């Protein structure tokens, strides 16, 4: 399975961005898909996850601002990020699991990161 993420960039505080992650290869094996992020000097953290049935889970820090969605026909997962804050600045990584729980108990596949910078 290959995951290709895109959509990062520079945005002002309060702005929005939409990340996309397209999957290819043995996609039949994919259950949960998720976005992680890693800020400078911090550990990588789970931002949001979604299973094949559309069940989602969010980190407390992004609830109400970020929305994860999935288009099975396009084998793509999205992360709509609204009301961005400076603390959202990080490299965002797409990930997938063979498990289908929406909680990402383990990551089986990683995509490359895409940088999101929130700054005025």
The per-residue pLDDT for 73 is: 87
**Greater pLDDT, 65 or 72:** 65
If you write DSSP's letter for every residue of the chain in order, what string do you get? Answer: -EEEEE--EEE-TT--EEEEEEEESSGGG---EEEEEE-TTS--EEEEEE-TT--EEE-TTTTTTEEEEEEGGGTEEEEEE-S--GGG-EEEEEEE-S--SSS-SS--EEEEEEEEEE--
Q: Residue 45: is its pLDDT beyond 90? A: yes
Q: Residue 57: is its pLDDT beyond 90? A: yes
Contact 70, 11 (CB under 8 A): no
Share of the chain above pLDDT 70, in %: 100
Q: Which two tokens stand for residue 92?
A: 């965002």
What are the pLDDT digits (tens) for 66-80? 999 999 888 899 999
Stated length of the chain: 120
């Amino acid at each position: 399975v290959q995951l290709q993420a895109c959509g990062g960039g520079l945005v002002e505080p309060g702005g929005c961005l939409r990340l996309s992650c397209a999957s290819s290869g043995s996609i039949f094996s994919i259950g949960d898909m998720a976005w992680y992020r890693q800020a400078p000097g911090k550990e990588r953290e789970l931002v949001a996850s979604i299973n094949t049935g559309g069940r989602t889970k969010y980190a407390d820090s992004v609830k109400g601002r970020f929305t994860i969605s999935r288009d099975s026909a396009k084998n793509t997962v999205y992360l709509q990020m609204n009301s961005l804050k400076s603390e959202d600045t990080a490299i965002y990584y797409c990930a997938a699991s063979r498990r289908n729980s929406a909680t990402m108990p383990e990551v089986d596949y990683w995509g490359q990161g895409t940088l999101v910078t929130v700054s005025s």
